[in-house]
Amino acid sequence: MVDLDAVTRGNRLELARLLTEVENQTPAGEQALDRLFARAGKAHLVGITGAPGTGKSSLVSCLAKNIRVAQKQTVAIVAVDPSSPFTGGAILGDRVRMRELAGDPGVFIRSMASRGELGGLASATAGVVQVLDAAGFDFILIETVGAGQSEVDIACLAYTTLVVESPGLGDDIQAIKAGILEIADILVVNKSDLPGAENTARALRANLDLGYHLHMNHNGAHRMTIKENEVRNTPAWTPPIIQTIATQHNGIDEVVAEILKHREYLIDTGLWQKREQDRLRSEVYHLLQTGLVKRWQQSTPPQVFERLLQKVFARELSPRAAIDSLLNGSYN
């Protein structure tokens, strides 16, 4: 159905069609992912998140342009916007801010709707990113609106995560509440042409310092998967705070320089590999869980499960005892 060789040779129509299959999680899409897996793992995945309207798309556009011109590398962009929970529809408007990338064959932009399924966004996004990676893009920029668990998941996918703030946006307290600072490898204060930018940057710095005392040697290794003792000997990465004006291409060189520096840091400390392995480990583990449950369901009549549930409802069995008896076959 989809011509994978064409995808890896750079056929953009085939690539676009494959992305649809992967996004829809069709059997054709999943088979393609299996076959492309060996080719992926080379791209630098960069997550860009932050509150609505802080200028993420504008910034992504600037970053892509800069990477194209100064680094002579290719860039794919995945821009995720929320689906309406009521209708399942979505308006995906990030391209509006990416006009200046039009006509460049070294850039590929794809908009995605979150489609509201729990955990589904992360896996669909991971699939889309894997295809773009296998298609040979050097950088993959992933834009998500910072509003919950999903961007933490996407931060897990990325090697480098940028959190974008802008002045006067309910400021620092909110950012901390959302736990969003913790996922930042690089903090960007965009719209620095507006009043209050210095204050925002200062507040971020203060919060960051506080956070770092609490989290000790956090190392940019983030997301709790890494035990402290495993990284104790690695030098810490302190997220830089950079002020930008995306609408004027101001401060972009510095952001790109920090992205490259962060990559170097991850590689030098072995965290690049560790991060990738942690992600793959949890993916395999997750699939194992789903697979085992599915197999168990196929081999166990639903009445057995239902009968056991009734006993739990009647408080004759605790949930744990119920599962024990299910798994060791001693039920009934």
Partner 1 sequence: MTEKKIRVLIAKPGLDGHDRGAKVVARALRDAGMEVIYTGLRQSPEMIAEAALQEDVNVIGLSILSGAHLVLVPRVIDLIRANGQEEVKVFVGGIIPEEDIPVLTQAGVSAIYGPGTPTTKVVQDIRDAFSAV
Residues that bind ligand GTP (rule: CB under 6 A) add up to a total of 17
Centre a 10 Å sphere on the Cβ of residue 199 and count the other Cβ atoms it contains.
14
User: Cα dihedral sign for 66, 70, 71, 75?
Assistant: positive
What CA–CA distance (Å, rounded) separates 213 from 254?
26
Does 94 contact Mg ion by CB under 5 A?
A: yes
Nearest to 40 by CA among 27, 22, 26, 25: 22
Contact status, residue 179 vs residue 152, Cβ threshold 8 Å: yes
Does 161 contact ligand GTP by CB under 6 A?
A: no
Question: Which is nearer to partner 1, 62 or 201 (by Cβ)?
Answer: 62
User: Cα dihedral sign for 264, 270, 276, 278?
Assistant: negative
Question: Which structure tokens are listed for 106?
Answer: 């070294």
Does 190 contact ligand GTP by CB under 6 A?
A: yes
**Longest distance between any two alpha carbons in the chain, whole Å:** 72
Does 220 contact ligand GTP by CB under 6 A?
A: no
Contact status, residue 15 vs residue 7, Cβ threshold 8 Å: yes
**Smallest distance, Å, CB 14 to partner 1?**
9
Question: Which is nearer to ligand GTP, 21 or 165 (by Cβ)?
Answer: 165
Query: Which stretch in 63-71, 243-251, 280-288, 313-321 sits in contact with ligand GTP by CB under 6 A?
Result: 243-251
Helix H or strand E encompassing 107? strand 107-113
Binding residues (CB under 8 A) for partner 1: these are 12-13, 16-17, 19-20, 24-26, 83-84, 87-93, 95-96, 99, 102-103, 108-111, 113, 115, 117, 120
Query: Which stretch in 30-38, 55-63, 277-285, 310-318 sits in contact with Mg ion by CB under 5 A?
Result: 55-63
> HSE (CB half, 13 Å, CA atoms) of 273?
4
Question: Which is nearer to ligand GTP, 234 or 244 (by Cβ)?
Answer: 244
Does 48 contact ligand GTP by CB under 6 A?
A: no
Q: Which of the listed partners (Mg ion, partner 1, ligand GTP, none) does 54 bind, with a CB threshold of 5 to 8 Å by partner kind? A: ligand GTP
Question: Which is nearer to ligand GTP, 189 or 226 (by Cβ)?
Answer: 189
